[in-house]
Amino acid sequence: MVLFAAAAALVASVAGTVGALGPLDEAGTVGQTAERIITTGEGLLFPIEPFPRCVVGNNFGGDSKTYGSGGHQGVDIAGDRGQPVYAVEDGVLSRQFDSGNPGLGWALWSVTDVQYRYYHLDAFAPGLELGDEVVEGQVIGYVGDTGNATPGGWHLHFEVRPGPSPHGRTVDPVPLLDIPRICNVY
């Protein structure tokens, strides 16, 4: 959610500091503030910090290395290595991936009974463990190329699986997301 009054008050200062925003801002707070200001405030929190690079593949249902033509179960969002990855809702880290096609990744089971999946992370956020509760906007990892991602093709593979089953069918995340204006969407 965007607090518009606060956002308006912050636009000037953020506009002056965008060039200084780094992908590894320690607390994640500066980048996150900027990210929220340039979105519409409607829809699901965008799952990565969009600075300095954000390309939304819009490839749900596209080709998958694992499941073949039409088998891509999520959307690929490209960035640079290390851009923070966010919990899009409050929830619990219900599954941790550390190998295979996902590489490093999380499943987040949200309070609204949706499972979100995050694959190909460069690293997990320090201190997080399977079963931990996380809150919307919390950094849970960093964009990477682990698993079956193309080496150097830094991106987040993001899936949305509405409940109640933990293995519910995937839906296209793109129409649900509050995509920052800085992102290129294909």
The CB-of-159 to Zn ion minimum distance in angstroms stands at 8
Of 160, 158, 83, 92, the C-alpha closest to 129 is: 92
Cβ atoms of residues 84 and 146 within 8 Å:
no
120 binds Zn ion (CB under 5 A): no
CB-wise, 76 or 89, nearer to Zn ion? 76
Judged by CB under 5 A, which of 25, 76, 89, 178 binds Zn ion?
Answer: 76
Taking CB under 5 A as the binding criterion, the range among 3-11, 74-82, 95-103, 163-171 that sits at the site for Zn ion is: 74-82
For the bound state, the minimum distance from the C-beta of residue 111 to Zn ion, rounded and expressed in Å, comes to 25
Which residue lies nearer to Zn ion by CB, 76 or 178? 76
Rounded least distance, CB 76 to Zn ion, Å: 4
Whether 126 and 132 have beta carbons less than 8 Å apart is answered as no
Point out the residue whose Cβ comes nearest to Zn ion.
157
Q: For Zn ion, give the closer residue by CB, 36 or 117.
A: 117
DSSP designation for 165: S
The rounded distance, in Å, linking the Cα atoms of 148 and 24 is 24
Region label for 147, one of left (φ > 0), alpha (ψ between -120 and 50) or beta (otherwise): left
Six token digits for residue 174: 């793109």
**Is the CB of residue 144 less than 8 Å from the CB of residue 81?**
yes
Rounded Cα–Cα distance for residues 63 and 54 (Å): 21
Pull the structure tokens for residue 69.
């033509």
Nearer CB in complex with Zn ion: 36/157: 157
Closest to Zn ion by CB, 25 vs 159, is 159
| 117 lines the binding site for Zn ion (CB under 5 A) | no
Residue 157 sits in the site that holds Zn ion (CB under 5 A): yes
Binding site for Zn ion (CB under 5 A): 76, 157
